[in-house]
Amino acid sequence: MATSPITSGFSGDETDNLPRTAESPVELKPRAGTSVADRFFRALTLAFALFIIVLTLFIAFELYKNSLLSIEKFGWRFLRGTTWDPVFQNFGALPFLYGTLVTSLIALMIASPVGLGVAIFLSELAPRWLSDPIAFMVELLAAIPSVLYGLIGVFVLVPVMRNLGATYGVGMLTAGILLAVMIIPFITSISREVLMAVPQAQREAALSLGATQWEMVWMAVLPYARSGIAGSIFLALARALGETMAVTMVIGNRPEIKFSLFEPGYTMAAVIANEFTEATYDLYIHALVEVGLFLFAVTIIVNALARLLILKMANVAEVRE
């Protein structure tokens, strides 16, 4: 039997130490004496991962437990009720749900194109000496406390909106614009990192085929990065849904459903922040906690939909490739 040129000159024991080919895969085993440490490491990291699940379930359980009085008395009527009257112990959370969704959608419609445009400029067009300082300022905007945004909204945005036709200057449109300013840094910073992670070969291939810079970005860069961009937008939406102080200061805090965006409104986070310390009886407290439970559920649903959308977009991209 002919001897392989690779193994010739080696004994059987020596050839066992050589790399195996694809036809004869080698089974990798941990070094002797490390199995106990490996098992401990795996159990420790598993415990950390399970802690996240346990913490989420614990939060949901505590919110449910502390809203039982409201759930038992109002049932699903609480979610579709439009009256919030602590004096007569009549509670309905629909105005808060409506205000939360409207202001968040306004913010998303304004912030998404602006944030993505800034990200494209910083990653594709701006020179390095200009891109880095602007990126630093974007990250700085994301770190500003929300109460400071609320003060800016009160002293700057509210007078402007009053001049544009809003009776009081406060309202859902005012809150939506302020939220847009707050979430633009999230969309910009994450989208910029995603765009910079696109392989340079994508750009060079488009340019070599005669594409302009705009066509290169539109046809080669953005399709490659769309999953990450979608993730940044939904992350910003989750941020907008849970914002409290800034929205509370400029939305007007009126528990009514009005179809005019200039009219005051209310959000789920704002009503909890405003009225929790004023709740003087158990049903009132449980109604506010149930509002928090619905806010928690809305946030979970939005993030789940975001994850499904990102996975779907990734699968479509793989099929096209």
Tell me the average confidence (pLDDT) per consecutive run of 10 residues in the chain, 321 residues long: 43 46 51 74 94 94 93 90 90 93 94 94 90 90 90 93 85 94 93 90 88 89 87 88 90 90 92 89 93 91 79 62 57
Distance, in Å, from the CA atom of 179 to the CA atom of 265, rounded to the nearest integer, reads 14
Q: Hey, which residues does 90 pair with through a beta bridge?
A: 85
Distance, in Å, from the CA atom of 247 to the CA atom of 284, rounded to the nearest integer, reads 22
Question: Helix, strand or coil for residue 35?
Answer: helix
**Please, what's the b/e burial string for 50-83 (b: 16 or more CB within 10 A of its CB; e: otherwise)?**
eeeeeeeeeeeeebeebbebbbeebeeebeeeee
Distance, in Å, from the CA atom of 299 to the CA atom of 190, rounded to the nearest integer, reads 20
Token code pair at residue 58:
């614990």
Closest Cα to residue 172, out of 82, 264, 270, 83?
Answer: 264
Whole-number pLDDT of residue 13: 47
Do residues 175 and 251 lie in contact, with contact meaning Cβ atoms separated by under 8 Å?
yes
Question: Helix, strand or coil for residue 255?
Answer: coil
Q: Where are the alpha helices (DSSP H) in the chain?
A: 12-15, 35-65, 68-74, 77-80, 94-120, 128-142, 146-152, 158-164, 172-196, 200-208, 213-216, 222-242, 245-250, 268-275, 282-320
- Give the predicted TM-score (pTM) of the model: 0.81
